[in-house]
Amino acid sequence: MSLLQQAVTSLLPRSWAEDIKQESLAWRAHCPSCNYETSIWELGGIRYKAKGSPKLGVKCKSCGQFGWHQFSKSS
């Protein structure tokens, strides 16, 4: 877990922390180079009660390429 995730899970009530984790797991990052998909939580981030489909510069865990990953929430 990242430092941010550790802080959230230790400072907030357990039910809130679990809701944040579950929603962050639902947000997916798609690599433009190899189409690998991973969750925001697995990347060490948090996305909670968010909207939109932002693009963020991320290094892919699969191919190792840095690219603008599209983030979207799975159903």
Q: What is the average pLDDT score of the chain?
A: 93
Handedness of CA 38, 39, 42, 45 (dihedral sign): positive
Whether pLDDT at 48 is above 90: yes
Whether pLDDT at 62 is above 90: yes
- How is the chain split into domains, by residue range? 3-73
Across the range 13-21, mean pLDDT stands at 95
Whether pLDDT at 4 is above 90: yes
Whether pLDDT at 34 is above 80: yes
C-alpha to C-alpha distance for 61 and 63, rounded to whole angstroms: 6
* Residue 49, Ramachandran bin (φ over 0: left; ψ between -120 and 50: alpha; else beta): left
